[in-house]
Amino acid sequence: MKALKVALIGNPNVGKTTLFNRLCGVNQKTGNYPGVTVDKKQGSFIHLSHSIDLIDLPGFDSMYPKSLDEELVVKFLKENSGQTEVNKLLFIADGTNIKKNLYLLSQVKDLGYDIVLAINMMDVAKRKGIVIDTESIAEEFGIHVVSISARKGEGIDELKSAILLDSPTRKVDELVYLRPENHEVLERYREERGIENSYKAFLEITQENKMTEVNSKKWKTEEAILRYQYVRKIIDRSIKVDKSLASDLTTQVDRILLHKVFGYVIFLFVLLVIFQSVFSLATYPMDLIDNFFSWFSSSMSDQLPPGSFTNLITEGLIPGIGGVVIFVPQIVILFFFFALLDESGYMNRIIYLMDSLMQKVGMSGKSVVPLISSFACAVPAIMATRTIENKRERLITILVAPLLTCSARLPVYTILIGLLVPNEFFYGISMQALVLLGMYLLGVVTSAIAALIFKHLIKNKYKSFFITEMPRYLIPNVKNVLFTIWENTKSFVWNAGKIIVAASIILYVLATNGGQKFDAAENYVTSQYKTLSEEELRPLVSAYQLENSYLGGLGKTIEPAIIPLGYDWKVGIALISSIAAREVFVGTMSIIYNINSEEEMTIMQRLDSEINANTGKRTFNFATCISLLLFYAFSLQCMSTIAVTYKETKSIKWTSVQFLYMTVLAYVVSLIAYQLLS
């Protein structure tokens, strides 16, 4: 038997995800809608030996879309109106705030759909003294209505049965959304175009201005007013609120959390907890992962027959994958907190508190969350900008996010700061930690300045507006939190992962192949250092090989460009290989300076005594270190970020703008710093 196709729709923050998980359990998969970056969730379940396919559409507020997500739902609803592809809509409403939901419901219903209405959070509504007469709503709209609690799993079976029922005989559709004197105009348009549904015709007129003689703006405004009158009538008949029962915790909590002083103090504290966890808690699993991959790589090279293919796997592929997996603990912790904030309702309070400050630099309160994730990695940050409706604010957020200090910069900073500042304490505070903090602040300040500049450069084609619902505070649902972590981690590993792995392999090939000199490295080094043992020769051979590999050639090619910054070709190689991911800098440095270990201390000592062939001075002197630090702070040496920016903006122009402005900024600032200091 053919499966019944049902789409799940509703306003945001009504418990749609919870219901979807309740209905489908683990029988679900996430895909992508063609051409847009909105996740498409599909699932299925069997009830009374009928199988039902459920499509989860993003939450939306109106038939007049203002964001990508909304646009997609509206398109879906308009396209499927009158088709048999989707048999039914499952509309979920919030029992504690049903007016807005019923407004949307009446719009969707006018498109001619069969609808089953699930009124969620009935338990909370009852506690608030709201009594909903579901029978009366069912009768007024001519639909099936089931009251549920998705969180507790109440009413789910009844809901499943209601989906299988035939829809009640529909009343004659009234054009409740249009003044009677305009009915004739609409009907004429509808018949001329052969549109089967009046509301679909109405949307075409109001959204696309298809009829020049119609004041579509007026029609839209009148629709809202007329429809609210209509919905209000139904609500008056079917919903009773007993005010004496209402005890509103949310309003009370908001008085503290949104306080002009305490609100910000609490927000700072929440930020601190997140950062502390991301950076200190994550180090344990990160060390484990690091050790595992080095063990895995060495045991693989013992197991497999020696040869270039084995080397490609053990020295290119495995470390490449390891370079991605190492970030997973931080991403998991980060999204754990984001899921908590989102589920509890505090996320919207952060948006509220920060909006006016972010507005000053051309962004929105909604930019705060992506920017916080930027401190772990710019890739999930740029993906998270999708919630920002205004295109300019979203674009600016994407453009400046990579300036914030991501965790891939940390290993680089650690080594350079170690070379720069003595490990001494200043009134009990580590000097090195202070400089590191300074680098974080530098990132914040630069991104604010860059955002301000973009605000003046990018024309605002789209009027910025900001209306957001402040949901009730709720205790987070464990299942939803786990799902959020899983989805985001998966998407990070996939998006950033494939690029990091590919780049690592390409760099490996470039570093392990070269001309004649490369192939003759062993003979050359052995004849040069006759007195050394084989053990001592090995690092010298690999250093010589790297120098004469294609990668070494590249490093030497760019040397003229980077000499003014205080670097030599060896640093050039490290810069190029950083393109896969910034932290590769450390590994490359250890190979090129023929160090046998990747221990930061040993690398540091070795680098400290290195002499620059061009100047005859210490390579890593004060000026060079500062210049390198600044270069890494500003340059966009991250293929994954470039790729994700392109994916999210779908624009070569803005992807290049981002890459170029950061590269130019890095180059100019490092140049000035080196020239002034040396």
- Using CB under 8 A as the criterion, which residues of the chain lie in contact with other proteins when the complex forms? 61-62, 64, 66, 96-97, 99-100, 103, 128, 130, 217, 220-221, 224-225, 228, 241, 250-251, 254-255, 258, 260, 263-264, 348, 351-353, 355-357, 359, 365, 463, 465-472
Phi and psi at residue 133, in whole multiples of 5°? Answer: -90, 95
DSSP state of 475: P
CB of 360 to other proteins, least distance (A): 8
CB-wise, 225 or 668, nearer to other proteins? 225
- In 345-408, which ranges are continuous DSSP H helix? 346-360, 368-374, 378-383, 391-400
CB of 91 to other proteins, least distance (A): 16
The 3-state DSSP class for residue 57 equals coil
CB of 179 to other proteins, least distance (A): 15
CB of 156 to other proteins, least distance (A): 25
CB of 424 to other proteins, least distance (A): 39
Ramachandran class of 167: left when φ > 0, alpha when ψ lies in -120 to 50, beta otherwise:
beta
The residue written with tokens 């089931």 in the block is 146
Tokens of 352: 């509220």
CB of 352 to other proteins, least distance (A): 5
CB-wise, 2 or 260, nearer to other proteins? 260
CB-wise, 15 or 471, nearer to other proteins? 471
CB-wise, 232 or 650, nearer to other proteins? 232
CB of 71 to other proteins, least distance (A): 14
CB of 222 to other proteins, least distance (A): 10
Ramachandran class of 421: left when φ > 0, alpha when ψ lies in -120 to 50, beta otherwise:
beta
CB-wise, 221 or 299, nearer to other proteins? 221
CB-wise, 236 or 535, nearer to other proteins? 236
CB of 253 to other proteins, least distance (A): 11
Q: What is the 3-state secondary structure (H, E, C) of 281-326?
A: HCHHHHHHHHHHHHHHHHHHHHHCCCCHHHHHHHHHHHHHHHHHHC
The alpha carbon dihedral of 330, 266, 372, 254 has a sign of positive
CB-wise, 134 or 526, nearer to other proteins? 134
Nearest-angstrom CA–CA distance, 673 and 214: 63
Q: How many Å separate Cα 23 from the centre of its chain?
A: 26
Q: Which residues fall within 8 angstroms of residue 185, CB to CB, at 6 or more apart?
A: 211, 213, 214
Q: Are 12 and 93 in contact (CB under 8 A)?
A: no
Nearest-angstrom CA–CA distance, 106 and 17: 22
CB-wise, 238 or 578, nearer to other proteins? 238
**Which helix (H) or strand (E) element contains residue 229?**
helix 216-238
CB of 225 to other proteins, least distance (A): 6
Of 466, 483, 489, the C-alpha closest to 343 is: 483
Q: Are 348 and 469 in contact (CB under 8 A)?
A: yes
Tokens of 351: 């948006």
Nearest-angstrom CA–CA distance, 546 and 552: 6
CB-wise, 75 or 217, nearer to other proteins? 217
CB-wise, 2 or 463, nearer to other proteins? 463
